[in-house]
């Protein structure tokens, strides 16, 4: 039987930048189970805090310390942190005595990694769940899909995002992005070894997020691999409508001259998947698919926690 809350669960958002603001708008427009009652930032003049006030959301520009002082905080069940990896460690420590559930949209990775179509229900009791990174949310599902039908010896992903969609938090977290995403390819995706690369594309006009996923496998049923990947793409697209394959899944045997052959332990196959993520443009333009997939995934997780 599906669990249905009698009233909406109240949430607070820390971070009034691009991601936090987009997340607030998504909750207000799309969620039947969540209600944003508070937003905390550190810039009193930020557009996010101004929008929140216009929408009737309690605000503070004093960060997490100001959040816990708001009257609305008492009824908050879930706090979504859209700041930075360093800031989340501080925020989690301040919030620990209050018993709130935390959804971490930074690469801090204090809590377990959660990628909705892969392991959404495995960590519902964790006090702090981590949403990996935008690249992780886009590519870990694909690696997991391949892993379900063929052991992945090595997975490498390249996430290319528009430079204009990379705010201060994203730029400050480049090292954490690669480390967290690489680890999630292994822990959640099932790869024996993972590597992640991010590219900030300065092209004008800005291009939508594009992700390339390479999986080195041994012998495999090519049709089973393609079917598994296509099914996973449909599952992600159910909550990120702009998520899609750019072309059919490519599978080819590795030869002795291929640098990936050693990673395959000799003979093997290379599975190549090319993705595109277009944003829903709730707050930023459609090219910011990297923001959209993070906030959409976080919304999915927070709603499941609320039902819990």
Catalytic residues: 134
Q: Is 168 annotated as a binding residue?
A: yes
Q: Is 298 annotated as a binding residue?
A: no
The alpha carbon of residue 90 and the mean position of all alpha carbons in its chain are separated, in whole angstroms, by: 21
Report the C-alpha gap between 174 and 177 in whole angstroms.
5
60: tokens are 């503070």
Distances (CA, A) of 1 to 33, 154, 249: 17, 39, 37
Report the C-alpha gap between 68 and 38 in whole angstroms.
10
Report the C-alpha gap between 141 and 139 in whole angstroms.
5
Q: Is 171 annotated as a binding residue?
A: yes
Helix or strand or coil: residue 150?
coil
Q: Is 16 annotated as a binding residue?
A: yes
Q: Is 28 annotated as a binding residue?
A: no
H or E element in which residue 87 lies: helix 85-95
Q: Is 201 annotated as a binding residue?
A: no
Looking at 188-288, list the stretches that DSSP marks H as alpha helix, in order from N- to C-terminal side.
222-237
CA 212, 216, 221, 224 torsion-angle sign: negative
Q: From the CB of residue 247, how many other CB atoms can be counted at a distance below 10 Å? A: 10
Q: Is residue 61 exposed (0-12), middle (13-18) or buried (19+ Cβ within 10 Å)?
A: middle
Please name which of 202, 207, 231, 185 lies closest in space to residue 279, comparing C-alpha atoms: 207
Q: What residue has token string 């309690």?
A: 58
Q: Is 170 annotated as a binding residue?
A: yes
Q: Is 165 annotated as a binding residue?
A: yes
H or E element in which residue 176 lies: helix 174-187
Binding-site residues from annotation for NAD(+): 16-19, 165-173, 290
Binding-site residues from annotation: 16-19, 165-173, 290
């Amino acid at each position: 039987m599906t669990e249905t809350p009698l009233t909406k669960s109240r949430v607070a958002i820390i971070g009034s930048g691009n991601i936090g603001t987009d997340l607030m708008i998504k909750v207000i427009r799309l969620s039947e189970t969540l209600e944003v009652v508070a937003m905390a930032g550190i810039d009193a003049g930020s557009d996010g805090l101004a929008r929140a006030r216009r929408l009737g959301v309690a605000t503070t520009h004093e960060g997490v310390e100001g959040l816990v002082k708001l009257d609305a905080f008492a009824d908050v069940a879930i706090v979504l942190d859209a700041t930075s990896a360093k800031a989340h460690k501080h925020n989690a420590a301040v919030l620990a005595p209050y018993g709130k559930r935390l959804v971490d949209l930074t690469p801090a990775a204090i809590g377990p990694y959660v990628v909705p179509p892969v392991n959404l229900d495995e960590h519902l009791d964790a006090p702090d769940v981590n949403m990996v990174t935008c690249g992780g949310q886009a590519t870990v599902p694909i690696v997991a899909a391949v892993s379900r039908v063929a052991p992945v010896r090595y997975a490498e992903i390249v996430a290319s995002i528009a430079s204009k969609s990379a705010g201060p938090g994203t730029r400050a977290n480049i090292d954490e992005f690669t480390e967290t995403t690489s680890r999630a390819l292994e822990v959640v995706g099932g790869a024996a070894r993972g590597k992640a690369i991010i590219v900030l594309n300065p092209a004008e006009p800005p291009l939508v997020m594009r992700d390339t996923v390479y999986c080195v496998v041994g012998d495999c049923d090519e049709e089973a691999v393609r079917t598994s990947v296509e099914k996973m793409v449909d599952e992600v697209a159910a909550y990120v409508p702009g998520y899609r394959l750019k072309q059919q899944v490519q599978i080819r045997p590795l030869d002795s001259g291929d640098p990936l052959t050693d990673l395959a332990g000799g003979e093997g196959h290379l599975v190549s998947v090319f993705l595109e993520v277009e944003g829903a443009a709730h707050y930023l333009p459609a090219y910011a698919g990297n923001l959209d997939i993070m906030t959409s995934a976080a919304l999915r997780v927070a709603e499941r926690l609320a039902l819990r």
